[in-house]
Homo-oligomer: A and B are copies of this chain.
Amino acid sequence: METEEFPTKVNLSTRRRFAASFGSHLKETFFPDDPFRQFRDLPACGKAWTALKYFVPALGWASNYTFAKFRYDLLAGITIASLAIPQGISYARLANLPPIIGLYSSFVPPLIYAILGSSNNLAVGTVAAGSLLLASIISVEVSPSGNPQLYSQLFYTAAFFTGILQTALGFLRLGMLVDFLSRSTITGFMGGTAIIIILQQLKGMLGLKHFTTKTDLVSVMHSVFKYRDEWKWESAVLGICFLCFLLVSRHLKTKVPKLFWVSAIAPLLVVVLGGIFAFLVHGDDHGIPTVGSLKKGLNPISISDLKFQSQYLSTAIKAGLLSGFLALAEGIAVGRSLALLKNEQIDGNKEMIAFGMMNIVGSFFSCYLTTGPFSKSAVNFHAGCKTPMSNVVMSVCIMLVLLFLAPLFEHTPLVALSAIIIVAMIGLIEYEEIHHLFKVDKFDFCICMAAFLGVALFNMVAGLASSVGLSILRALLYVARPNTCKLGNITGTAMYRDIEQYPSSSSFPDILILQLGSPIYFANAGYLRERISRWVEDEESIIKKDGEDLLYVILDIGGVTSIDNTGIGMLKEIHRILSRRKIKMVITNPRLEVATKLVSSNFIDLIGENWVFLSVKDAITACRYALQESGEKGEEA
């Protein structure tokens, strides 16, 4: 008769074999985006062509490239080139490198990316945060003024290791490591970095000659006031003019989005006007320092400059790996958010390989760390780019500048570069996001603040490490203390929900229903044992007052996604504890993976297959039926 009452039972016989389940795990871990889907149902030569297109995305877009598209890409390419020149020079100076290296880095890497990259919107270039991070690590080992050649060589070497790391992560499909830099961490890190970079620009704005190499707020401010006698009012006045101009052009963009190109071209305008002005008034002699000598000519080959001697190797590797992770996180996040706006897909692992290859090749041609910076990519997007061809156009523009125009930029006043950096950095402080975090999730806010304050008050590595550490601690806590709740029946339905959330739901005197969630495994098995025992004791102490006994504990494990050996041991222990108190343990709705393990570890035999149900409702019906039966027997006796 019982089969009629419960027509649907938990399916305990469907089990995946180990090989199948292991294969599926591997696939979910490393190929969540299923890149091989497109190869199905193709003939052999089609497969080869698809594979080639898979590894060289340029073949995909180049085969149906049209002049109409090129018009858009040309415009976008010229626009981003106008941004690349001042940014390249600025960020190279931020890294204490010769300014020309910033231009070199905008020539070779974009070409590589255009061939291998899968995003149509990304514009390749150097980044402020990465430049400062590299400088802060490498200048500890080698002084940029004492041994400038070795200093640059270590930057190339770091870029080489960045490339190796990124390519390796891409091939090993370990893109998920980047996920451990959470959005909160990146928000805080970017905000803190922007603050210290802005403060560092006080050097340029005030025309200082001496300055600290440390990046923290206290050292920088101390340094600014220590060299008070070096302050140049001419520099400051010119800087404030540039700043106002750039801020107005930025404001214009937000008011009239169509005029985005004004703000895109503004930095180059500032550089050109500033250069003419400084040239006319002989700026260097009147308190307006300029960039100074820029050689004509393309990137020199630097493959023999890579330093693999053990003395500097660890510094180069450390700088390369840290900045590589950071650059990857920024590049992939930027590519993803822009692709989303156009409803396109980008492949994170393929992007990593493209980033890695452009850094490796770049390191052979006097380039340092490059990625897809947010500011430049956004300009590229708004300028209407269609394919990575815009990077090629930018690259050609930079090549022309290197070949013919570079010496013209010698007269660029440093203060103009400082103004450009300050305006770019202001956009990276996301006040609203931080406020939103505070409102929604206090722990996320702490993670964000750890990065923000760590970077601003100590150094960039400390800020990043403490924030990631907090994130991982949280990840472990999440699984070490999973939520459990007591369920009650929502009156008039067959549904059982959290009684704290639905206070009007009703419970049964001799049945306790608990809902578990999350995976059950060694890190939370001990906690769950304690917690379930406490639920049972609390329930008993309540109902004992009414003279009732607790007879059934129903564990709803529908939310338990997986279980390990320690977890099963814990369930067995709970069963033993409950049995001793004469309480029957009932299980409802185990998922496929959990059910498989419960069967193979004999746990199901222990509690009896009849006490595993598909839903809480079925379990309750069975419990009440059993109670009634035993009650009748009791009365008969």
Q: Of B340, B497, B531, which contacts A577 at CB under 8 A? A: B340
Interface positions of A from 555 to 597, Cβ below 8 Å from B: 558-562, 564-566, 568-569, 573, 576-577, 580, 589, 591-593, 595, 597
- Docked Cα-Cα span, A477 to B437, in Å, equals 26
Q: Cβ of B481 and Cβ of A28 under 8 Å apart?
A: yes
Which residues of chain B have C-beta atoms less than 8 A from A34's C-beta?
534
Q: Cβ of B561 and Cβ of A592 under 8 Å apart?
A: no
A257 at interface, CB cutoff 8 A:
no
Q: Cβ of A437 and Cβ of B565 under 8 Å apart?
A: yes
Q: Cβ of B495 and Cβ of A562 under 8 Å apart?
A: no
Interface positions of A from 468 to 519, Cβ below 8 Å from B: 471-472, 474-483, 485, 490, 492-495, 497-498, 500-503, 517-519
Q: Closest chain B residue to A471 by CB distance?
A: B522
Q: Cβ of B440 and Cβ of A183 under 8 Å apart?
A: no
Interface residue total, chain A, C-beta cutoff 8 A: 95
- 9-residue interface stretch from A64-72, A110-118, A174-182: A174-182
Are A8 and B569 CB-contacts (below 8 A) given A475-B476, A480-B176, A517-B561? Answer: no
A526 at interface, CB cutoff 8 A:
yes
- Docked Cα-Cα span, A438 to B441, in Å, equals 41
Which residues of chain B have C-beta atoms less than 8 A from A559's C-beta?
517, 558-561
Q: Cβ of B475 and Cβ of A179 under 8 Å apart?
A: no
Which residues of chain B have C-beta atoms less than 8 A from A500's C-beta?
14, 592
Copies of this chain assembled into the complex? 2
A523 at interface, CB cutoff 8 A:
yes
Q: Cβ of A479 and Cβ of B477 under 8 Å apart?
A: no
A355 at interface, CB cutoff 8 A:
no
A282 at interface, CB cutoff 8 A:
no
Are A8 and B495 CB-contacts (below 8 A) given A483-B591, A500-B14, A562-B478? Answer: yes
A11 at interface, CB cutoff 8 A:
yes
A55 CB to closest chain B CB (Å) equals 20
Q: Cβ of B176 and Cβ of A526 under 8 Å apart?
A: yes
Q: Cβ of B32 and Cβ of A534 under 8 Å apart?
A: yes
A430 at interface, CB cutoff 8 A:
no
Q: Cβ of A492 and Cβ of B558 under 8 Å apart?
A: no
A184 at interface, CB cutoff 8 A:
yes
A615 at interface, CB cutoff 8 A:
yes
A444 at interface, CB cutoff 8 A:
yes
Are A184 and B440 CB-contacts (below 8 A) given A28-B481, A32-B531? Answer: no
A530 at interface, CB cutoff 8 A:
yes
Which residues of chain B have C-beta atoms less than 8 A from A527's C-beta?
28, 32, 176, 179
A548 at interface, CB cutoff 8 A:
no
Interface of A is mostly: helix
Are A343 and B580 CB-contacts (below 8 A) given A478-B479, A530-B32, A614-B495? Answer: yes
- Docked Cα-Cα span, A476 to B442, in Å, equals 22
A621 at interface, CB cutoff 8 A:
no
Q: Cβ of B497 and Cβ of A494 under 8 Å apart?
A: no
A18 at interface, CB cutoff 8 A:
yes
A41 CB to closest chain B CB (Å) equals 11
Q: A182-B521, A184-B566 are in contact. List 18 more A-B contacts (CB 8 A).
A: A7-B492, A14-B502, A14-B503, A18-B442, A28-B527, A34-B534, A180-B523, A182-B566, A472-B476, A475-B522, A478-B519, A478-B562, A483-B593, A490-B614, A493-B615, A517-B517, A518-B519, A558-B558
23 contacts between A and B (CB under 8 A): A11-B502, A33-B534, A176-B480, A176-B527, A179-B524, A182-B564, A184-B564, A184-B566, A340-B573, A348-B526, A436-B565, A436-B601, A440-B597, A441-B597, A475-B522, A478-B519, A478-B561, A479-B519, A482-B519, A490-B614, A493-B615, A517-B559, A517-B561
Interface of A toward B, CB cutoff 8 Å: 7-8, 11, 14, 18, 22, 25, 28-29, 32-34, 175-176, 178-180, 182-185, 340, 343, 345, 348, 436-437, 439-444, 471-472, 474-483, 485, 490, 492-495, 497-498, 500-503, 517-519, 521-527, 530-531, 533-534, 558-562, 564-566, 568-569, 573, 576-577, 580, 589, 591-593, 595, 597, 600-601, 614-615
- 7 cross-chain pairs, A with B, having the tightest CB-CB distances, nearest first: A559-B559, A182-B522, A517-B561, A483-B561, A501-B592, A444-B565, A32-B530
